[in-house]
Structure 1
């Protein structure tokens, strides 16, 4: 019974959608079949778009060092990080939902909440391709004015979001969903580390690495020795 409750809790939107579809089927079948057709088209689009996006997200996680992401998209990246985030979103391809796996990969590597908001928002409303289409249909002055108003609004929204939402809030949500261990302090992290102080992770010792995990600079899986131990096991 507990497993069923957890399943429903973790997939609330899916269950709500099933209930609404069921009601529509009995009350207005034409709405049900129209919605089913739209859902089919949406799923086909996702099958076409999501695989390459998930591959890109995986490559970011595996290949790109945390310090690189933190330098260009982290909390201390400054105004350069903000403009790089706008540029990243602006040159992106695919629908807006494709931005979220990439955003999660960047977040887990140390990107700030403000820059994630900027990337996602830019992906949605300030794409280069969108500017070309918009200016051709509504005129260049309209497109330029909208972009001039939209970009500052995105920057402000990123700043506000970083004040309202903490890294810990997001990490707790992700970890609860994936049934991962939630570390409350660096001491708990240290208990799960080999404590060899090898420095392969980029930190001088395991204690500093553990503090980096709590701050969100790295994840515990960035421990090189721990990764090798897992592979052997």
Structure 2
């Protein structure tokens, strides 16, 4: 039961797969192939992206990010942001860790929007494929219309979204996650010894989430410390 509560989405996905297996074997097989391809793609892309994000956080000085991607970077910052997005590799979801790292190191919201948007719709590889299928005129016209829209969107986003709001939201999410029953339940040893005075680990986790007790009352965790 604890597994189901902690992994609702996974359980729902498994149930849907089972239903699909009996309903239509062809759809089931196709969905498995698509899932496998998606997972393989993520395993190929995300480790490298997370390493790059980590290196940005550790090795790149904040002054460098602020100078080249901050609010005062001007046209140079917009150009650098467009180049990062356009010459990037990987699907759009790979852009978010990189964008987050740059943002919290001092990049402006406008430049973060430009990176994500150009990553999605103005890649140079995409241009070559697009022009070969739809023609050079089509591709050039779309890019000529898309790039100004990306710049305008970045400007508008910077007026509507503020860094303080994003930091506060991130901290609130962190507090909610770290204060939840599920968070504490993952930390507890699942021995259900009752030594904490709450009968089992789940009840103890509920009490911890309500701030009614202290996690050091778990004898197993206390012995490790």
TM-score, normalisation: structure 2: 0.68
1:42 alignment partner, one of 38, 42, 46: 38
Q: Describe the shift of the 1:112–1:42 C-alpha distance in structure 2 as closer, same or farther (beyond 3 A).
A: same
Task: Find out whether 1:111 has 2:107 as its counterpart.
Answer: yes
TM-score, normalisation: structure 1: 0.66
3-state SS of paired residue (1:83): helix
3-state SS of paired residue (1:68): helix
Structure 2 CA distance for aligned equivalents of residues 18 and 139 of structure 1: 46
Question: Tell me, which stretches of 5 or more residues in structure 2 are unaligned?
Answer: 177-225
1:27-176 equivalence runs, <5 A: 28=23, 30=25, 31-176=27-172
C-alpha RMSD over aligned residues: 2.5
Whether contact under 8 Å (1:90, 1:128) holds in the other structure is yes
Structure 1 CA distance for aligned equivalents of residues 105 and 167 of structure 2: 12
Whether contact under 8 Å (1:74, 1:111) holds in the other structure is yes
Q: For residues 76-113 of structure 1, what are the alpha-carbon distances to aligned partners after superposition, in whole Å with 9 as ceiling and x for unaligned?
A: 21122111111111111111111111001001101111
Shift of 1:17: 6.4
Q: Describe the shift of the 1:172–1:35 C-alpha distance in structure 2 as closer, same or farther (beyond 3 A).
A: farther
